[in-house]
Amino acid sequence: MAVLSEALAKAQPCPAHYPVPRAVVGAEAWKQAAQGFAEGRMTLLGLWGERDAAHMAVRDTEEGSIAVLSLLCPNGRFPSVGAVHPPAVRLERTMRDLYGLIADGAKDTRPWLDHGKWPHSRAEARAPYDFLPAEGENLHHIVVGPVHAGIIEPGNFRFTAGGETIVRLEERLGYVHKGIEGLMAGADLKRGAQLAGRTSGDSTVAYAFAFARAAEAALGCEVPPRAVWLRALMAELERLANHFGDIGAICNDAAFALMHAHTGVLRELVLRTCDAAFGHRLMRDSIVPGGVAHDLDDRGVAAIRALLAEARRRFPPLVKLYDDTASLQDRTVGTGRLSLELAQQYGAGGFVGRASGRNFDARRDLVYAPYDQLHFTVPIRNDGDVNARVWIRIHEVEQSLGLIEQILDRLPAGPITVPLPIGSDACEGLALVEGFRGDVLVWLHLNREGTIARCHLRDPSWFQWPLLEAAIEGNIVADFPLCNKSFNCSYSGHDL
Amino acid sequence: MRKHIFQGMIHAPLTEAAPAPDDAALAELAQAVERTARRRLGRSLAIREVDAGSCNGCELEIHALNNAFYDLERFGLRFVASPRHADVLLVTGPLTQNMCEALERTYRATPDPKWVVAAGDCAIDGGLFAGSPACVPGSIGAAVPVDLYIRGCPPRPIDLLKGLLALLEAQA
Ligand code: SF4
C-alpha cells in the first residue's frame, strides 16, 4: 500500500474537509510522513500552523493522491519535518514566527519572517540576524538589498564569493510580510478573496481562482460552467502576460534589450486586452467565490481573438531571434543549473521544476475544471539551466495561446455566479491552481457563519527560493540577476 | 537581429500621445513644492523606486512605464539604481514594519531637494492591509513626507505618468 493511504487508514478522519481528506494523526505517523518525504515517496505541498495544531498537505508520489495530515499540538510543539526534509525548514521557522509552534529537533531555529520589528516579535528576532558562515581563504562577502537597484521587490542577498565565483548565497526574506493570514482570520469571503488576490500581484488571478475553489469545495457549491471557463481564460491570459514580460526581462539581464522591448509590447497588448475584456489590466478581483465578477461580451471576445492573432504574428520571430543570437545563448546556456534531484525533493513547481525534468503541472496532474476538457501538453526539459527555463516558458506561451482559442471556441453560455450556501456547518476546503510560476495552494477553514477561521496561502516560491541558492553556486556574481530572473520567485507571495 | 532593427525603423512608433498632467495632482503639488527648497533642475527627474511592502502589482505597472507605449524617458523621467542619484522616491506598498527602516534610510540617502510619490492604494493608507500589526499605521506618510499620492490598485501606467508629469511641471 502506498504511504499516504497507509497513514490515512490509521488516522482519525476529519469530517467536512473537501475535496480531499484530512485526518488527525499521532506524532509517530507525523514522523513517518516526514520520513516519506525524505525518501521521496511523498511530496510536501504545504506545512502550516494554527494556535494548537500543525498541518501538512502531502501528495503521494506513486498514487498521485493528496491529503492533509494534522497533528494536534496542545503544548505548542510538533516533531520537526525539516530535520529530515530540508524543504520544510523555512516553513517551520515561519510557523514559529506566526503561530508560536516549536518544531522539536529542528536544526535551524532562526526567525524567518519575524525581523524583530512587530509589536509581538520574539526576543530572538530582535537580535541581529545570524547569517550562516562560509569559511575559506580569500573569500569575500557581497551584501545586497533589501532595496535593490532595479524595480523589484525587496529581499536581502548575501553572497560569499571566491574571486568572481559564488560559493554561497544566503537569502533573507520577509521584508514584505503584510500579515495576510492574520488579516484573513475573521474576514468574510469577499474580503478573503480580495486579500488572496493581493498575495502576489502577478498571480492575482491564480490566487483568486485557488481561493474561490477552496471556498466552493468547503461549502459544496457548484459554479456555473461559464464561470469555470472564464476563470481558465483569465488564468491563461495571466500566464501569457507574465511569460511575455519575463522572457524579455531575462534577456535584458543578459544585456539584450531588444528582446525586452519587443516582449514588453506583447505584455502590454495582453494587459490592454484584459482591460477591454474584464475591466482590469491584471484582472484583479475578477474571480470571486461563487463565480466571476465580469462577464465577457462580444467585444471582449473580439479583443482576445485579435490578441491571439497579433501574438502569433509577433512572437515566432522573437523566438527565432532568441534561438539565433549566439551572444545571448552564451549567457543563458549552462548558467544556473538546477538538478532534477533537487527539483523533485523540493517539489519545485512551474517552469523551475519542468526545466529540470520534474514532470508536474497541477492543471494536468491535479486536474480541475475546465482543464479536464481542454487539450494541452506540458513541456519538459532536462537541462535545468537559464536557457531551459526560457524555453519552457516559450512553449508554455504556445500552449496558452492554444488553450485560449479552445476556450473562446467552446465557451458555454449561461449565468456567471451562483449564491454561496453559507450558514451550514463549519467546513474546510483545499485547492491547488497552476499559476504562471507553479502551483498555488489555498487551505481554508470556514466558521459556521461563513467567516474565515484560518486561511493558509502557499506560494510556489516557498519551494523555489531555496533552489535558487543551490542553482547559483559556482556561477559568477555577474550572472546572479540572470539566474534570479529566470526563477522569478515572488517575494510578496512568500512573505505573506 | 538586423531584420528586427530595420523593421523598428520603418514602423510607426507605438508610443501614446503625452497625457495632460493630472490637474488634481498639480494643485496638490503646487502647494507641496512651495515648501521645498525649489531649485530648477530642467525638465528632468531621476526616480528611485522603493517597494515598501507591495504585492508587486504596483511594480508591474511601474515597469510598464518603460515599455514602448508609455516610454517614460521621452519626458526626461528615468529610473535610477541608487537613491544617491534620485530626485524622486516612488514608493509603493502598505509600509510593512520590516521595510520601514529601509525606507527611512533610503530617504535619508537621497540628496535634497527631493520629492516622495506614494503610488497605489496601499501606499496611501495601507489599503486592504490597513490595521495589520505587520504594517505601519498611516502607511508611507507615517515614515517619510509624501508630496504626491497616486491612487489605484494598482494605478494604471497612464495615471502614474500623469502624476509624474504633474511633478515635473510643478518643479520646473
Ligand atoms: S495598491 Fe494594490 S497593486 Fe499596489 S501594492 Fe497595494 S494591493 Fe498591490
pLDDT digits (tens, 9 = 90+) for A174-185: 999 999 999 999
Round to whole Å and give the CA distance between B75 and A165: 40
Q: Determine the atom of ligand 1 nearest the C-alpha atom of B53.
A: 5
Q: For residue A181, is it within any domain?
A: no
* 3-state DSSP helix/strand/coil % of chain A, to nearest 5: 45, 20, 35
Calculate how far, in angstroms, residue A347's C-alpha sits from the geometric centre of ligand 1. 29
Q: Are residues A264 and A401 in the same domain?
A: yes
The whole-chain average pLDDT of chain B stands at: 85
Q: For residue A133, is it within any domain?
A: no
Q: Which whole number is the average pLDDT over A285-295?
A: 95
B135 vs A179: CB contact, 8 Å cut-off? yes
The 10s digit of each residue's pLDDT in A378-434 is 999 999 999 999 999 999 999 999 999 999 999 999 999 999 888 778 899 999 999
Round to whole Å and give the CA distance between A263 and A247: 7
Q: Give the minimum alpha-carbon distance from B33 to chain A in angstroms, rounded to a whole number.
A: 26
Q: Which domain holds residue A13?
A: 3-113
Predicted pLDDT at B7: 79
Q: For residue A473, is it within any domain?
A: no
Ligand 1, atom 8, residue with closest C-alpha: B55
Whichever domain contains A433, its CATH number is 1.10.645.10
Q: How far is CA A439 from CA A33, A210, A366, A428, A436, in A?
A: 21, 9, 10, 19, 8
Q: For chain A, what is the radius of gyration of the CA atoms?
A: 22
pLDDT bracket for residue B24 (50, 70, 90): low
Compute the count of residue pairs across chains A and B with CB atoms less than 8 Å apart.
143
Q: For residue A287, is it within any domain?
A: yes
Residues lining ligand 1, judged by CB closer than 6 Å?
A 198, 201; B 54-55, 57-58, 92-93, 120-122, 127, 153-154
Q: Which of A113, A136, A157 is the last residue of a domain?
A: A113
What is the count of structural domains for chain A? 2
ipTM above 0.85, yes or no: yes
Predicted pLDDT at B158: 92
Ligand 1, atom 2, residue with closest C-alpha: B153
Q: State the Cα torsion B111-B114-B120-B124 to the nearest 10°.
A: 110
Instruction: Name residues whose C-beta falls within 8 Å of residue A89's C-beta, 6 or more positions apart in sequence.
Output: A82, A106, A107, A108, A466
In chain A, the percentage of residues whose pLDDT exceeds 90 is 85
The whole-chain average pLDDT of chain A stands at: 94
Q: Residue B89: which H helix or E strand, with range?
A: strand B88-92
Q: Are residues A288 and A401 in the same domain?
A: yes
Identify which of B92, B99, B156, B159 to mutate to test ligand 1's pocket (most ligand atoms within 8 A of the CB).
B92
The 10s digit of each residue's pLDDT in A207-266 is 999 999 999 999 999 999 999 999 999 999 999 999 999 999 999 998 899 999 999 999
The 10s digit of each residue's pLDDT in A31-61 is 999 999 999 999 999 999 998 999 999 999 8
Q: What type of residue sits at position B145?
A: P
In the numeric block, the cell 477561521 is attached to A453
Q: For residue A152, is it within any domain?
A: no
Predicted pLDDT at B72: 87
Q: Per-residue pLDDT for A269 more than 80?
A: yes
B56 vs A492: CB contact, 8 Å cut-off? yes
Q: Which whole number is the average pLDDT over A442-466?
A: 95
Q: Are residues A95 and A212 in the same domain?
A: no
Round to whole Å and give the CA distance between B116 and B139: 13
Q: Per-residue pLDDT for B30 more than 60?
A: no
Q: Are residues A227 and A100 in the same domain?
A: no
Instruction: Name residues whose C-beta falls within 8 Å of residue A184's C-beta, 6 or more positions apart in sequence.
Output: A192, A195, A452, A454, A455
Find which of B73, B80, B98 to mutate to test the A interface (most A CBs within 10 Å of its CB).
Answer: B98
Q: Which whole number is the average pLDDT over A270-282?
A: 96
Q: For residue A71, is it within any domain?
A: yes
Predicted pLDDT at B28: 60
Q: Are residues A280 and A425 in the same domain?
A: yes
Q: pTM for the complete prediction?
A: 0.93
